[in-house]
Structure 1
């Protein structure tokens, strides 16, 4: 094949040498607009996994790179005069110029043609079977074929400057400095025998308020030297960007995502020889015989994607792109005819892997954009939160890397929870008002649609009793309705009469008599989402007969053209519904529930007031968020007034409607602050289900960032929900201060004893927060032995997973 790589950075050079090594008959050319030796940036970072991939792809190049690497295992976090260190992370640094020298020399040895000072403004005159667009972040080819690639570029909120220093760091170092304008942070690591990379970062507003926008480059560097003087130990900061002036050095990180990575050009007209203008292909000027085919132009490296430097380098991703494409080409035969199949595989598999890394990078980026709220945590928890910020490095993964660090942290966290012995974070106690939960696991309120006339009976006794015996600290009853017309379906439970209260009392007594769990009541009103069939007969579908009238903040149909229309609540309706909530609250207290939650989420009645998508009122209950909060707060205050003072009350909210114009995470913080002021003890942070137009971004622990934002900005306890399915998830969330409790839904449907099972899975056999029903103890040892056997057999798999996770950065 004739292969042309546009861009002589790591992606273009490494792919060129891999293809030439794969088949010396390939004609491989690299076109680079800069001079040999020109480079930007200081050092780059690779994980141990990337190094292993380099060794497999080309041992000769890998050996040269390894000889020039500086390796470290530790991460050091400096904040508030404290230094906290975690080990076992396995990263390496190398100077960017040194890396490019190695790649250039290897290309030359294999016979790759490299043309410097060759600025390719357009690919129209390039005749090749395969064109690699490795022309960087501001790729002109990506822009030219944007209709195919469909790039999405998001400028992030922080400004950063990439500097160097002669201070040699022994660990990957994060240094955080609070100023009168806000927080600045430095990311520093050694990459050769004389220099370290030193990246300084701050939110845009902090950067502006500090005056850096108006400073010269020299003054900006002097500012950073003073700010980070302690960690720099008298060493200077250095810029290698002589061509940049003033604030041009400070940039915002652009996150680049492309929907497609491959574009097929239309065939050139082979009947016409085209001379290449000197400005576009310097040093050629000869007629080019065009390739009579649709040559693919393939994005690689920063042209295709970016991932924030806080989880590793773009160079790492670029080299892995090159390895993946070279592998796929070889797998499919290595020739022109098999290119389409190889490129299909490259685009399909590599783009998915990169997207996973970009998702982790997004979490990491947002963490650094919000240091202000994380800094409210104690230094120990702040450092732990930093280490796990991507949500791809978990509690047990940290234990594999540095068991001593995790053990010390668990002991610190246990002491803060009042324990005199260590325990995994999920098994530490939690107290609100006069109620103490034995651990941090919550059985979510999950609709069962199994009542007649709202009456809880044997089914609910069995369902809730089994889960209370299964080890969780708190068990929620499903949303219970305050009146017959408040139900979602005819199968929903109620608390509008004394007979129902007696049924609930029987269940509460059972839980208290036979388990150490606490039990919570969640009260709600379906609003416009009521009068529907039970889920297995058609979720959200209206009843075929027997419908009841619906009310909501404003008239709406939940399912356009399908659902019943609700009518707008009048003041008399509001008074009646408030009274219904108060009466149900009294009955819940009399039934003995330990905890009460008001449901203001998921598009139900009170949620319909909160969301601008469903509240279009023109009175004092519509318009601004303050007005939209008015009625839910009135209901809450009325309930709090009759609910026993020693028992906690929480509120469930939808923190994000996932629809333009709907509730945002910023709104969620304001809602939490308002409910906190009204006497709420905790916010149960969910999202969505307000509009069928929603487009959520799903993933592991996908709603946890909303909980973290509410908890650490509003200063109120939270429950995290959403795809939390392992003890490792719960431990990571609680330990990092992202939530105080974790609600587990579907896993508890599949396994009522989820908490006991997960304790055995992680090897927590006895201790605080864990108590097996004495009737089940004979099954405990058998389960523990089985998990111990699985851990022994799966040791290699665990290590492999650890190695894979390291690729995702610090």
Structure 2
């Protein structure tokens, strides 16, 4: 099953192995460069069914760090067009994850420090969130977005999606997970608002639903709209699987085609029992309850494990991150592991594993 095609409404993915978005912290002023071309292109050469580009900020203050990719201005599109053209030439589907980091923004590159910069630091800026509560107690407090500023965020996502379409991405994924801005509205542990964007479930999902509606108007027949969510906060009183399932049903009604199910990230005191496949049950539940095409992530490290997830109908495909960093041509090895005769890129044919 891992090497069966995945037919979506308007595109077909050649297999069920998708490259998960992985931040590289290697851009300047949001611009992609040859690092991103080679990084993403290698996975397409290696026959990944789809390659989803890292969290790409819809505004400068939406970046996690000053090294993040961005898509807040038209000039960003040129290099992205080069990347998507190459990915398509290799038979893979190019995707992009549109993101806003909210209160978890304005940080250093992680291999330098995990610290957050103050707004007046050279590489820092004022962060924003659903409420003026910092992620860590020693972080600079974010600014609670006003209703007007929320509408600007919605517009930023819509404008970014339009640029993504121009750049040639076929999958547009909204990042609503891992404690970033949209998740900061979803989670009652972070969202303490008393207006139409806070309090009830209906109010807390409002920002995401408005973004979905705004982005839908920019997508054509050759595009697929995906959402990544954290199905659970792993903290008492937080966002949970019941709310995630209810949200997924609403997203399906709104025209979202695929849900990419992860967990965690909203609060630093989360308690996650990390083990192989630990997030699969959340994807499985949402898939069975909603019928949405569903992807699963999280310590999926072997072909047999990935194939079993799909054969058991826990998910329709798997998203792989760190295993691809260890072996960009992981798909070739997994095909051999499952006795699948996968055609290699002709330039690499002489190295084919027999």
Indicate the residue corresponding to 2:132 in structure 1. 555
- Of residues 249, 258, 263, the one that matches 1:673 is 249
Q: Confirm whether residue 530 of structure 1 aligns to residue 105 of structure 2.
A: yes
Cα offsets for 1:220-242 (capped at 9, x unmatched) = xxxxxxxxxxxxxxxxxxxxxxx
Indicate the residue corresponding to 1:450 in structure 2. 26
- Of residues 569, 572, 576, the one that matches 2:145 is 569
Give the match's secondary structure for 2:228. strand
Indicate the residue corresponding to 2:347 in structure 1. 775
Q: Confirm whether residue 539 of structure 1 aligns to residue 111 of structure 2.
A: no
Cα offsets for 1:492-526 (capped at 9, x unmatched) = 0011112211110010111112x111110110101
Q: Distance in 1 between matches of 2:221 and 2:61?
A: 29
Q: Distance in 2 between matches of 1:591 and 1:545?
A: 30
Where do 5+ consecutive residues of structure 1 fail to align? 1-424, 785-810
Q: Distance in 2 between matches of 1:659 and 1:542?
A: 26
Q: Distance in 1 between matches of 2:123 and 2:49?
A: 39
- Of residues 158, 163, 169, the one that matches 1:593 is 169
Q: Confirm whether residue 724 of structure 1 aligns to residue 300 of structure 2.
A: yes
Q: Distance in 2 between matches of 1:668 and 1:603?
A: 14
Q: Confirm whether residue 612 of structure 1 aligns to residue 184 of structure 2.
A: no
Cα offsets for 1:400-425 (capped at 9, x unmatched) = xxxxxxxxxxxxxxxxxxxxxxxxx1
Cα offsets for 1:304-329 (capped at 9, x unmatched) = xxxxxxxxxxxxxxxxxxxxxxxxxx
* Contact residue 597 and residue 650 of structure 1 kept, 8 A: yes
Q: Distance in 1 between matches of 2:79 and 2:72?
A: 12
Cα offsets for 1:676-710 (capped at 9, x unmatched) = 11110011100001110100111110000000000
1:273-352 matched pairs, under 5 angstroms: none
Cα–Cα, structure 1 residues 645 and 762, in superposed 2: closer, same or farther, change >3 Å? closer
- Of residues 409, 423, 430, the one that matches 2:6 is 430
Q: Distance in 2 between matches of 1:534 and 1:636?
A: 30
Q: Distance in 2 between matches of 1:605 and 1:540?
A: 18
Cα offsets for 1:4-40 (capped at 9, x unmatched) = xxxxxxxxxxxxxxxxxxxxxxxxxxxxxxxxxxxxx
* Number of aligned positions between the proteins: 352
Tell me by how many angstroms 1:471 deviates. 1.6
Query: Quick check: which one's helix share is greater?
Result: 1
Q: Distance in 1 between matches of 2:167 and 2:329?
A: 25
Tell me by how many angstroms 1:578 deviates. 1.2
Q: Distance in 2 between matches of 1:437 and 1:724?
A: 19
Q: Distance in 1 between matches of 2:158 and 2:43?
A: 28
Give the match's secondary structure for 1:642. coil
* Contact residue 585 and residue 639 of structure 1 kept, 8 A: yes
Q: Distance in 1 between matches of 2:329 and 2:115?
A: 30
Indicate the residue corresponding to 1:439 in structure 2. 15
Tell me by how many angstroms 1:730 deviates. 1.1
Cα offsets for 1:33-70 (capped at 9, x unmatched) = xxxxxxxxxxxxxxxxxxxxxxxxxxxxxxxxxxxxxx
Give the match's secondary structure for 2:259. strand
- Of residues 39, 54, 75, the one that matches 1:463 is 39
Indicate the residue corresponding to 1:688 in structure 2. 264
Tell me by how many angstroms 1:638 deviates. 0.2
* Contact residue 603 and residue 690 of structure 1 kept, 8 A: yes
Indicate the residue corresponding to 2:276 in structure 1. 700
Give the match's secondary structure for 2:271. coil
* Contact residue 529 and residue 540 of structure 1 kept, 8 A: no
Q: Distance in 1 between matches of 2:201 and 2:72?
A: 30
Cα–Cα, structure 1 residues 540 and 516, in superposed 2: closer, same or farther, change >3 Å? farther
1:729-748 matched pairs, under 5 angstroms: 729-748=305-324
Q: Distance in 2 between matches of 1:545 and 1:586?
A: 31
Tell me by how many angstroms 1:490 deviates. 0.5
Runs of 4 or more off by more than 6 Å in structure 1? none
- Of residues 68, 89, 92, the one that matches 1:517 is 92
1:173-322 matched pairs, under 5 angstroms: none
Structure ID, larger Rg: 1
Q: Distance in 1 between matches of 2:106 and 2:43?
A: 29
* Contact residue 524 and residue 598 of structure 1 kept, 8 A: yes
Tell me by how many angstroms 1:542 deviates. 2.9
Indicate the residue corresponding to 1:37 in structure 2. none
Tell me by how many angstroms 1:646 deviates. 3.6
Indicate the residue corresponding to 1:758 in structure 2. 334
Q: Distance in 2 between matches of 1:692 and 1:752?
A: 31
Tell me by how many angstroms 1:540 deviates. 4.8
Indicate the residue corresponding to 1:658 in structure 2. 234
Q: Distance in 2 between matches of 1:580 and 1:511?
A: 26
Q: Distance in 2 between matches of 1:469 and 1:572?
A: 44
Q: Distance in 1 between matches of 2:151 and 2:242?
A: 30
Q: Distance in 2 between matches of 1:613 and 1:749?
A: 33
Tell me by how many angstroms 1:426 deviates. 0.3
Q: Distance in 1 between matches of 2:22 and 2:126?
A: 25
* Contact residue 498 and residue 587 of structure 1 kept, 8 A: yes
Indicate the residue corresponding to 1:634 in structure 2. 210
